[in-house]
Chains A and B, each alone.
Chain A
Amino acid sequence: GAVVSQHPSRVICKSGTSVKIECRSLDFQATTMFWYRQFPKKSLMLMATSNEGSKATYEQGVEKDKFLINHASLTLSTLTVTSAHPEDSSFYICSGLAGADTQYFGPGTRLTVL
Chain B
Amino acid sequence: LAKTTQPISMDSYEGQEVNITCSHNNIATNDYITWYQQFPSQGPRFIIQGYKTKVTNEVASLFIPADRKSSTLSLPRVSLSDTAVYYCLVGDEVNFNKFYFGSGTKLNVKP
Binding site for B on A (CB under 8 A): 1, 4, 6, 32, 34, 36, 43-46, 49, 91, 93, 95, 97, 100-108, 110
Q: Are A101 and B91 in contact (CB under 8 A)?
A: yes
Excluding A4-B43, A46-B100, A100-B97, 7 further A-B contacts by CB distance (< 8 Å) are A6-B43, A43-B101, A93-B44, A100-B30, A100-B91, A103-B89, A105-B44
Q: Are B49 and A101 in contact (CB under 8 A)?
A: yes
A/B pair count, beta carbons within 8 Å: 60
Interface SS of chain B: helix, strand, loop or mixed? loop
Binding site for A on B (CB under 8 A): 2, 30-32, 34, 36, 41-46, 49, 87, 89, 91, 97-104
Given contacts A43-B102, A97-B97, contact A102 B49 (CB under 8 A): yes
